[in-house]
Chain A
Amino acid sequence: MISLLATRLTSVILVMLVVSALSFSIFNFLGDPVNNILGVNATLAQREELRVALGLDQSTFVQFWRFVERAVVGDFGVSYRNRQPVVDLILARLPATLELVMCATVIALAVGIPMGVYTALKPRGLLSRSLQFGSLLGISMPQFLIGMLLILVFSVELRWLSAFGRGEVVKLGWWTTGMLTTSGLKALIMPTITLAVFQVSMIMRLVRGEMLEVVRTDFVKFARARGLSDRAVYLTHALRNSLLPVITITGLQIGSLIAFAIVVEAVFQWPGMGMLILQAIEFADFPVMAAYLAFVGFSFVTINLIVDLIYLAVDPRLRAK
């Protein structure tokens, strides 16, 4: 178990090194910080002064080390576009994206797992077949199209929900939440559904596949032979053993939810990190891009690590080793 943790930690460090190297390259080699800060009309002396002040006269390796040092304490410099510290921009946008991702994950698990169990136990039923087809549709349909359909029905035709923004938000320290006001909650509905459809389909198909395999194993046959009720056999024996891969996939999926949130935020004008990075790419705002990459990399690595730890806690076979 210790060795497992050790390999995991080495890979975390490795990933973070690669990510910070990439992030550093974006920051350092793509944009010319001096030009961007001073503008093109500055004198040579001013430029040289700033170059020294920023440490750009040092070797690449020293610069990289400084970049990492500053990144660790959250200092990613100043945005080229609106002259604010990058970390402030990201922190201001973070709650919007995280609330969206969390709501979508909860829905994906709460809807996807029961649907997967049902379709595995009654594979020939009409409902199962339609769910199965629906899930195929769900993974074949891009998020933006789902969002656009929802907007067309609920905003344009029925005029029930607003097609953009977060609604009214409440400040809790630096965190802002839309979950405490009616307009905030209403604004969450469509983006959450849009983001969750793919995950629901994914988890349903996964649970179904696992259940179908587990149901054929000897321990399930044995449980049935012991005369346990269907309920006990399926829900405690079979489902529990099917859920292991679900933990991994859900964890990894949170990562891709952060990625897909870019699309959903673009459709609903949701003021989260996705909109931030889209604008950063549009305006070649390299500090923001570098910080976003580092931040996203860090979150993915953390999520993967947590998933591994949960796995360790849930699967006794791993602990015994």
Chain B
Amino acid sequence: MSQLVLRLKAFGNSELAWRFRNSPPVIFAAVVLIVLVFCAAAASLIAPHNPFDPATLNIMDARLPPVWIDGSSSTYLLGTDEQGRDLLSTIFYGMRVSILVGIAAVAFSMTIGVALGLIAGYLGGWVDTVIMRLGDIQLSFPTIMIAFFIDGVAKIVMPIGMREEMRFYVVILAIGVADWVQFARTVRAATMIERRKDYVAAARISEVSGVRILLAHILPNTIGPVLVLATLGLGVAILTEAILSFLGLGMPPSQPSLGTLIRAGNDLLLSGEWWISLFPGAALVLLVLAVNIVGDWLRDVLNPRLR
């Protein structure tokens, strides 16, 4: 326990913490991010209504505007959507799906990328060439295009009965596969430097297995930049998911993400019911903006070139 306190104190005195305390916008973004993640994680506890319980829905309450506009109802703070669901509650639940998909997709591409990067950097030779060439080929396509195609093809190929429940995994896979290259490149470069160092030679002499050298010795020394990339990648992944959902290729209406909610509201925009699409949109922008500000700040602080 006292060990933990000491560690926390050491972190509090570190440069990272000092810089954090001295950048108000970043503190603000971090607070916003924590609040949003809390709302999403605790959606089932704090949401005023349960939008997925048909028994509580009343179609007479459909398309009500937010409370500060005439004709609204005080039970629905941000108004209701086409099916009479409370918009604030659906946003909480939708944000949960968006964040989950984003984190899972980044974790997925990080795992593939780090593994391939370690292998390519450590083994070198033709393995390295094949992996990195594959990366080059993939990089000549924008990530969104790759995710779009994997997702579109998967949507058609899946048996109809499984389409809806499998969407969650398909979307994660599509975004994850589309974005591994930058992780692989970073880790490969770091691994090539690390493997020449004495501690690796020492480990090799003591007959530590290659896998163990990679995972226990080299990996921890390459992980810093990877975490920055992951933070920045999270914003992109959440946006990509929103785009796929908006195009009707992402999360289904039965399990909506913020993108799905915006898509549903888009049809009602021209009839003037702007809140149904713009409130989920605002939540999405706030979320991605907060992630990007924190990610940008981390990159600047950890990048020695900018000091």
Residues of A whose CB lies within 8 Å of any CB of B are 11, 14-15, 18, 26, 30, 136-137, 139-145, 148-149, 151-152, 155-156, 163, 213, 252, 255-256, 258-260, 262-263, 266-267, 277-278, 281-282, 284, 289, 293, 296-297, 300-301, 304
B137 at the interface (CB under 8 A from A): yes
B237 at the interface (CB under 8 A from A): no
Write the nearest CB–CB distance from B75 to chain A, whole angstroms: 26
B278 at the interface (CB under 8 A from A): yes
Write the nearest CB–CB distance from B18 to chain A, whole angstroms: 21
Which 4 pairs from chain A and chain B are nearest by CB? A256-B142, A281-B152, A259-B145, A140-B289
From B137, B156, B235, B270, A140 is in contact (CB under 8 Å) with: B235
Q: Given A152-B269, A281-B249, A304-B140, do A262 and B148 touch, yes or no (CB 8 Å)?
A: yes
Q: Given A26-B153, A255-B142, A300-B141, do A151 and B292 touch, yes or no (CB 8 Å)?
A: no
- Determine if A136 and B289 form an interchain contact, defined as CB atoms under 8 angstroms apart: yes
For the A-B complex with A256-B142, A282-B248 known, give 19 more contacts whose Cβ atoms are closer than 8 Å. Answer: A11-B136, A14-B133, A26-B153, A136-B292, A140-B285, A140-B288, A140-B289, A141-B285, A142-B281, A144-B243, A145-B281, A145-B285, A149-B278, A152-B269, A152-B274, A258-B142, A277-B152, A281-B156, A281-B249
- Determine if A151 and B149 form an interchain contact, defined as CB atoms under 8 angstroms apart: no
B174 at the interface (CB under 8 A from A): no
* Cβ contacts under 8 Å, B292 to chain A: 136, 139-140
Chief secondary structure at chain B's binding surface = helix
- Determine if A145 and B156 form an interchain contact, defined as CB atoms under 8 angstroms apart: no
What are 14 A-B contacts with C-beta separation under 8 Å?
A30-B153, A137-B289, A140-B235, A142-B246, A143-B243, A148-B281, A151-B270, A156-B269, A156-B270, A256-B142, A256-B144, A263-B246, A277-B152, A278-B248
Q: Given A136-B289, A142-B242, A297-B141, do A263 and B247 touch, yes or no (CB 8 Å)?
A: yes
* Cβ contacts under 8 Å, B149 to chain A: 293
- Determine if B285 and A15 form an interchain contact, defined as CB atoms under 8 angstroms apart: no
From B243, B247, B277, A148 is in contact (CB under 8 Å) with: B277
Write the nearest CB–CB distance from B282 to chain A, whole angstroms: 9
Task: Write the chain A residue with the least CB distance to B247.
Answer: A266
Distance of A18 Cα from B195 Cα, bound (Å):
32
Distance of A26 Cα from B156 Cα, bound (Å):
11
- Determine if A256 and B243 form an interchain contact, defined as CB atoms under 8 angstroms apart: no
Give chain B interface residues in 233-250, CB to chain A under 8 Å: 235, 239, 242-243, 246-249
Task: Write the chain A residue with the least CB distance to B271.
Answer: A156
Distance of A297 Cα from B293 Cα, bound (Å):
33
B91 at the interface (CB under 8 A from A): no
B157 at the interface (CB under 8 A from A): yes
Distance of A143 Cα from B244 Cα, bound (Å):
12
Chief secondary structure at chain A's binding surface = helix
Write the nearest CB–CB distance from A137 to chain B, whole angstroms: 6
B95 at the interface (CB under 8 A from A): no
Give chain B interface residues in 205-240, CB to chain A under 8 Å: 235, 239
* Cβ contacts under 8 Å, A278 to chain B: 247-248
Give chain B interface residues in 252-290, CB to chain A under 8 Å: 259, 262, 266, 269-270, 272, 274, 277-278, 281, 284-285, 288-289
Task: Write the chain A residue with the least CB distance to B289.
Answer: A140
B155 at the interface (CB under 8 A from A): yes
Task: Write the chain B residue with the least CB distance to A292.
Answer: B149
* Cβ contacts under 8 Å, B305 to chain A: 213
Q: Given A30-B153, A156-B270, do A142 and B249 touch, yes or no (CB 8 Å)?
A: no
B82 at the interface (CB under 8 A from A): no
From A144, A163, A260, B262 is in contact (CB under 8 Å) with: A144
From A136, A140, A149, A259, B148 is in contact (CB under 8 Å) with: A259
**Which of A140, A149, A163, A263 has the most chain B CB within a 10 Å cutoff?**
A140
Task: Write the chain B residue with the least CB distance to A129.
Answer: B25
B61 at the interface (CB under 8 A from A): no
- Determine if B296 and A256 form an interchain contact, defined as CB atoms under 8 angstroms apart: no
- Determine if A142 and B284 form an interchain contact, defined as CB atoms under 8 angstroms apart: yes
- Determine if A301 and B140 form an interchain contact, defined as CB atoms under 8 angstroms apart: yes
* Cβ contacts under 8 Å, B270 to chain A: 151, 155-156, 163
Write the nearest CB–CB distance from B298 to chain A, whole angstroms: 14
- Determine if B266 and A15 form an interchain contact, defined as CB atoms under 8 angstroms apart: no
Distance of A124 Cα from B246 Cα, bound (Å):
38
Distance of A143 Cα from B285 Cα, bound (Å):
11
Task: Write the chain A residue with the least CB distance to B292.
Answer: A140
Write the nearest CB–CB distance from B195 to chain A, whole angstroms: 26
Give chain B interface residues in 131-173, CB to chain A under 8 Å: 133, 136-137, 140-142, 144-145, 148-149, 152-153, 155-157
* Cβ contacts under 8 Å, A152 to chain B: 269, 274, 278
**Quick one: CB contact mask for B61-80 with A, threshold 8 Å, 1 for yes?**
00000000000000000000
Distance of A278 Cα from B149 Cα, bound (Å):
10
* Cβ contacts under 8 Å, A18 to chain B: 137
Write the nearest CB–CB distance from A216 to chain B, whole angstroms: 10
Distance of A255 Cα from B144 Cα, bound (Å):
10
Distance of A256 Cα from B148 Cα, bound (Å):
12
- Determine if A259 and B142 form an interchain contact, defined as CB atoms under 8 angstroms apart: yes
Write the nearest CB–CB distance from A35 to chain B, whole angstroms: 14
* Cβ contacts under 8 Å, A141 to chain B: 285, 288
